[in-house]
Amino acid sequence: MSDDGIEEEFFRLRERDGLAPLARRWSSGEPLRAMMVVAHGMGEHAARYFGPLETIVRSGVDIVAIDHRGHGEDALAADALGDYGPGGFDGVESDLAALIDWARAAAPHLPLILLGHSMGSMIAQAVAIDHGEKLDGLILSGSVAVDHIPAGGDPAGLIAALNAPFEPARTAFDWLSRDEAEVDRYIEDPLCGFGLTEASFASLAAAGSRLADPAALAAIPERLPIYILSGDMDPLHSVLGGVQPLIDRYAAAGKRVTSRLYPGGRHEMLNETNRAEVVADLRRWIEPLIAARSA
């Protein structure tokens, strides 16, 4: 246990495709009430999520998070940042599903909530279709209807397009947040700031048609509550027009979807200037799920 009362445990998932992904668990020592699995975005890593979600950890919700293939220290050491490897998007999804199984086994009688941000939200969309029965709640942050991502596009060019609404910009990553200190921390982090390889990007984009297929969406359990949050200036929304179609298709499929668009917010609402409001809203959405499972 650290001086601040938070314990961080590192572990590796079972090896698949020659990879044993690194994961971590944050615990507060408070009576455990739920598990939250976090799937991070493109060009970042799991460790970035403790700070924004610390109050949730302290409320008795343990968080487990994974460094996706092509991300984190392992990918840096292998000179493979941005590369999903031969398993492609399916391999990344299988890792996240394995982490969910780990979390479920660690607390079999407690609620399990999946939070995916950006690329992680796209992986989470697939998990909801293929493994939704294992979830008690699904949170999609900075998300997009994946079929709105241009297939065969240039990953670097796409990132430049995302910053275009904020030009003349202070940095190439102003699209992430209005908080300049958070943007600078991202830029200074050697495990942040890269895009996917062309093959990995194509693998991600190719998943779009299935994630939009009404027959596939029908597999998401009707009981599963879904919370979609975004800034209304998130370029995945304002440039790609991707979040409203996602909300609409879940609603059309009869899913229990709640959405919140924050005025002026950019891509990383958990690192935005109003992040305290965002996390408080997140907690208000989570608490009834925990209470319902405990009743």
Domain ranges of the chain: 7-294
Residue 243 to residue 237: CA distance in whole angstroms: 5
Per DSSP, 42 falls in state T
Residue 182 to residue 61: CA distance in whole angstroms: 25
| Residue 149: predicted pLDDT | 81
| Residue 1: predicted pLDDT | 47
pLDDT at 55 over 50: yes
Q: Which of 214, 229, 221 is nearest to 259 (CA)?
A: 229
pLDDT at 152 over 80: no
* DSSP helix/strand/coil, 259: strand
| Residue 201: predicted pLDDT | 92
pLDDT at 242 over 90: no
pLDDT at 5 over 90: no
**What digits encode the pLDDT tens for the residues 111-126?**
999 999 999 999 999 9
DSSP 113-170: EEEEETHHHHHHHHHHHHHGGG-SEEEEES---GGGS-TT--HHHHHHHHHGGGPSPS
Residue 291 to residue 135: CA distance in whole angstroms: 15
Query: What number is the average pLDDT over the span 128-132?
Result: 98
Please tell me whether the overall predicted TM-score, pTM, comes out greater than 0.85 for this model. yes
Q: Could you tell me if 206 and 196 are in contact, meaning their C-beta atoms sit under 8 angstroms apart? A: no
Strands 256-262 and 137-141: unpaired
Q: Is 152 left (phi over 0), alpha (psi -120 to 50) or beta?
A: left
Query: What number is the average pLDDT over the span 239-243?
Result: 81
pLDDT at 2 over 60: no
**Percent of the chain predicted with pLDDT > 70:** 96
**What digits encode the pLDDT tens for the residues 69-79?**
999 999 999 99
Residue 173 to residue 114: CA distance in whole angstroms: 26
Which CATH architecture fits 7-294? 3-Layer(aba) Sandwich (3.40)
| Residue 155: predicted pLDDT | 67
Please give the mean pLDDT across all residues of the chain: 94
Residue 200 to residue 26: CA distance in whole angstroms: 29
* DSSP helix/strand/coil, 277: helix
Strand segments, DSSP code E, in 7-148 are: 7-12, 22-27, 34-39, 61-66, 112-117, 137-141
**What digits encode the pLDDT tens for the residues 16-45?**
888 899 999 999 999 999 999 999 999 999
Phi, psi of 30 (to 5 degrees): -70, 160
**What digits encode the pLDDT tens for the residues 192-231?**
999 999 999 999 999 999 999 999 999 999 999 999 999 9
